Amino acid sequence: MVPPPAIDVDVHGVTDTTTLTTPNPLTINGVDKRRAAYPKLAAGIAAVADVDSFKGRTQHLHKPKAHRWDHRFSAESNARRGNSLKGAAKYLRNPGMISLGGGLPSSEYFPFDELSIKAPLVGQFSEPETHENGKVLTAGKHDMANDISLFDVSTAFNYGQGSGSAQLLRWIIEHTEIVHNPPYQDWHCTMTIGSTSALDMAFRMFCTSGESILAEEYTFSAAVETARPMGLNVVGVGMDGDGLLPSSLDEILSNWDESKGKKPFILYTVPTGQNPTGTTQSAQRRREVYKVAQKHDLIILEDEPYYFLQMQPYTGANAPDVPPPASHEEFLKALVPSFLSMDTDGRVVRMDSFSKVIAPGSRIGWITASQQVVQRYVVHADVSTQGPSGFSQLSLYKLLDEHWGHAGYLDWLIHMRLEYTKRRNVILDACEKYLPREFVKWTPPSAGMFMWLGIDYEKHPEWKGEGKGKSILDLEEQIFQTIIRHGVLAMKGSWFYADAGAKHDTLYFRMTYAAAAFDKIDEAVKRFGEGVREEFGLPPLESNGSA
């Protein structure tokens, strides 16, 4: 049987949906058809985005609506009323109205006539290829008035909405739908100025001083450093090689002693290539975690900067590589499904970011969550961060929408997948070569930037048992200094404690293979190995790399 064509059945303005069949999920090919079903995007200065048209007005009607989260918002968030001046903008729809209202500068005083970036052609993604034959993408000042483009300097460089420009937001929403297709009706996206800021704002939206939040027991240190000053306790949830343990999560919540504080309802997690442990939750693991979240009515803050740094399977030092994905479909299918993709309740606030797959300096990310949550986020953004830089938004729009399109971007992500696979393999090969297996343990990461090296401190010559002589933290510092002396910097595991006050019986170091040149990675791991050998009283390696 031939499957029905994967197109969007949206019809602009349709309200009687009873006769519609369940639409097929949006694919890359469906994007053009959906766009064609709506009037050409015309979004001027600080225009409000028509998100429904970007999602397709009938595409998601067969799905359940998100739960309401009124009981979860903080007093601060509940007190946000939105901007009265923006309310006045509705009068600008009156024909012939002249505005002396909003205090926006005239673009004639922006000292820029053009913005250009030089970017790779699809399939010729390497740095030398880009330098050689990259395409210069130019945005003119008045390209919209001159019918050259849907976005231009005069609009992008003026004030915008807290949600970001309609132009780039449309692409982001389409991309999110192609990859995750959230299984509830009223999902929305809004841009952030990066996930670090999004996390700060999410905590303020949901939490109040004195409360607790949940996170992996080793977690992104900036998350803890964001939460603690707000008076939030971070409770560490147990982990294994598949990341966060649903049993640990359930146990903490089921046995929570309310007399010691309100039961937490925010779970902060990095499901893919977790920082610092490099673990990735399997699909099954995520389903189990989601069930626990439903049981205890949690909000999941799904922080996914490394989602597209999922790599090819590791086959070992001298084994042949697994062939790369043969198509966009195969690539997307190879990705672990996100929490967002299984979020029937609208309880996930997913944070995406361009930092690891385009450039951190763009300071553009986005959240996907229920309309209610997104709306709470935007009213805060409107009076704090505002939207991302117009220079960044215009550059990314030119690259992602006009130049690469969704297909070209997936090609880029496949390129990134293979590049990170190479890097990961270099560090794993080096670990095999240089690290003493009897004292150092690791699992090949399947995603992200990080290797997590467990040190068997109980075998350390100076370990005398708990409470006797040197502590785990003492030994960690001692090994750290020895490694520094050998000329390599790795991060101490204790810097990533979710709760520094909790008892820990593990000792780790984090290494990244994302930044250094390939030959330096090998040398660095060698030095690390020498440091560990010295600490554990082993003789130095021979120069050929064997003990």
Residues 487-516 that bind a copy of itself (CB under 8 A): 487-491, 495, 511-516
Stretch that binds a copy of itself, among 9-17, 166-174, 248-256, 380-388 (CB under 8 A): 380-388
Q: Mask of contacts with a copy of itself, 398-417, x by CB under 8 A?
A: -x------------x---x-
Mapped to the 3 state alphabet, what secondary structure does 406-439 carry? Answer: HHHHHHHHHHHHHHHHHHHHHHHHHHHHHCCCCC
Q: Coil, strand, or helix at residue 146?
A: coil
Site for a copy of itself in 119-138 (CB under 8 A): 119-120, 125-127, 130-131, 134, 136
* Out of 239, 527, 529, 533, the residue judged to bind a copy of itself by CB under 8 A: 527
The C-alpha atoms of residue 490 and residue 511 are separated, in whole angstroms, by 5
Site for a copy of itself in 71-90 (CB under 8 A): 75-77, 79-85, 88
Site for a copy of itself in 254-313 (CB under 8 A): 275
Which C-beta is closer to a copy of itself: that of 28 or that of 416?
Answer: 416
Closest approach, Cβ 283 to a copy of itself, in A, equals 25
Closest approach, Cβ 459 to a copy of itself, in A, equals 23
* Out of 61, 222, 317, 322, the residue judged to bind a copy of itself by CB under 8 A: 222
Which C-beta is closer to a copy of itself: that of 306 or that of 314?
Answer: 306
- CA 8, 12, 14, 15 torsion-angle sign: positive
* Out of 24, 341, 344, 386, the residue judged to bind a copy of itself by CB under 8 A: 386
Which residues have CB under 8 Å from 428's CB, separation 6+? 314, 317, 444, 451
Closest approach, Cβ 124 to a copy of itself, in A, equals 11
Determine phi and psi for 169, rounding to 5 degrees.
Answer: -60, -35
- CA 452, 456, 460, 463 torsion-angle sign: positive
How many CA atoms are closer than 13 Å to the CA of 142, on its beta-carbon side?
5
Closest approach, Cβ 37 to a copy of itself, in A, equals 30
C-beta separation of 176 from 392 below 8 A: no
Site for a copy of itself in 420-479 (CB under 8 A): 449-450
How many CA atoms are closer than 13 Å to the CA of 46, on its beta-carbon side?
19
Closest approach, Cβ 383 to a copy of itself, in A, equals 5
Site for a copy of itself in 42-71 (CB under 8 A): none
Closest approach, Cβ 49 to a copy of itself, in A, equals 16
* Out of 25, 101, 241, 469, the residue judged to bind a copy of itself by CB under 8 A: 101
The C-alpha atoms of residue 245 and residue 223 are separated, in whole angstroms, by 19
Number of residues that bind a copy of itself (CB under 8 A): 115
The C-alpha atoms of residue 74 and residue 380 are separated, in whole angstroms, by 12
Distance between start and end Cα atoms, the chain: 61
Closest approach, Cβ 149 to a copy of itself, in A, equals 16
Closest approach, Cβ 34 to a copy of itself, in A, equals 26
Strand 508-512 and strand 135-140: pairing? unpaired
116 interacts with a copy of itself by CB under 8 A: yes
Stretch that binds a copy of itself, among 18-26, 54-62, 283-291, 482-490 (CB under 8 A): 482-490
Tokens describing residue 249: 């999560």
* Out of 15, 18, 19, 106, the residue judged to bind a copy of itself by CB under 8 A: 106
C-beta separation of 11 from 124 below 8 A: no
98 interacts with a copy of itself by CB under 8 A: yes
Burial 514-527 (b: 16+ CB within 10 A, else e): bebeeeebbebbbb
Degrees (nearest 5) of the Cα angle 114, 117, 123?
145
Q: Which of 240, 317, 227 is nearest to 266 (CA)?
A: 227
Closest approach, Cβ 408 to a copy of itself, in A, equals 10
Which residues have CB under 8 Å from 284's CB, separation 6+? none
Q: Mask of contacts with a copy of itself, 192-221, x by CB under 8 A?
A: -xx-xx--x--------------------x
User: CB under 8 Å, gap of 24 or more: what pairs does 96-103 form?
Assistant: 102/46, 102/159
* Out of 12, 228, 291, 422, the residue judged to bind a copy of itself by CB under 8 A: 228
419 interacts with a copy of itself by CB under 8 A: yes
* Out of 109, 323, 539, 542, the residue judged to bind a copy of itself by CB under 8 A: 109
Closest approach, Cβ 155 to a copy of itself, in A, equals 9
